[in-house]
Amino acid sequence: MTMSLFRIGTTIFLLAGIAAAAGYRTEPGGPPPAEAAALAPALTAQGVRVLKPDGGALCEFWFVREVGKEGEPEQNATWGIAHGTLLGVVKVESRWSDRRGQPIRPGVYTLRLSFFPMDGDHQGVAPQRDFAILSPVEIDKDASAKPAFDALMDMSRKASRTPHPLVLSLWKESGAVETGITAEGESDQVLRATIGGAPVALIVYGRSDH
């Protein structure tokens, strides 16, 4: 009887440990990749690596040091910086998908801020209009550029190879954050980090059907 209870207790302990280790997490990364050399002066010297539940690397982010002057956010947006502002660079290391379920192929991409249009096609996509748009780093080398909406979408379609750009949902937080990932909602894994001095949340895993 005592042995059975011991085994049950041990099993529960092990299962609890497995569950605790099963989520996505972050660890310090390395310097910006060679592919992003033209943008490196604008980026942090050390990346933030996102690890999958199995411990393998999903991707690594290098966020910008500055985002420029902030003003009043657009309607239903959380961040009052200019459309097209460079937010950082991400290196994709294994199979990944964007908010729409589109595959993001291994490679290096820029992240730029955009606000989805206030029209019927985008209704219900997210509570806020802020998104990070991924584009191939080889065609996006100017850290100071702020592409207009159509130009940024065209750049991103070269990464998605579909009619729709690659998008990650994000929003600016109201208070300070610690870098790390939390599970939220039914499936979202949310990375919180500081981008250009601003506290930001970025959904790195999760999907919207809109």
In this structure, the strands spanning 130-136 and 166-172 are antiparallel
pLDDT > 90: percent of the chain: 71
Strand partners, 96: 104
Which range among 8-22, 38-52, 64-78, 196-210 has the greatest average pLDDT? 38-52
Average pLDDT, the chain: 86
Q: What are 82's two structure tokens? A: 């200019």
CA angle 159, 163, 169 (to 5 degrees): 65
Long-range contacts of 153-161 (CB under 8 A, 24+ apart): 153/114, 159/104, 159/105, 159/107, 159/109, 159/134, 159/135, 160/98, 160/102, 160/134
CA distance 158 to 135: 7
pTM of the model: 0.84
Tell me the average pLDDT across 59-85.
Answer: 93
In this structure, the strands spanning 103-104 and 188-195 are unpaired
Residue 3 has pLDDT above 60, yes or no: no
Domain definitions of the chain by residue range: 23-205
Tell me the average pLDDT across 169-181.
Answer: 95
Q: What are 31's two structure tokens? A: 């310097």
pLDDT score for 208? 61
Tell me the average pLDDT across 174-201.
Answer: 94
Instruction: Please return the burial class of 120, using the count of CB atoms within 10 Å of its CB with bins 0-12, 13-18 and 19+.
Output: exposed
